[in-house]
Amino acid sequence: MANYVRMWQPGGTWFFTVVLADRHNSHLLVEQIDLLRSVVREVKAHHPFRIHGWVVLPDHLHALLELPEGDTDFPLRWRQIKSQFSRAIANEEARSESRWKRGERGIWQRRYWEHLIRDQEDFVRHLDYIHRNPVKHGLVTAPGDWPYSTFHRWVASGHYPPSWGNLIASDEPGIT
Residues noted as catalytic: 148
Helix/strand/coil (H, E, C) string of the chain? CCCCCCCCCCCCEEEEEEEECCCCCCCHHHHCHHHHHHHHHHHHHHCCCEEEEEEECCCEEEEEEECCCCCCCHHHHHHHHHHHHHHHCCCCCCCCHHHHHHCCCCCECCCCEEEECCCHHHHHHHHHHHHHHHHHCCCCCCHHHCCCECHHHHHHCCCCCCCCCCCCCCCCCCCC
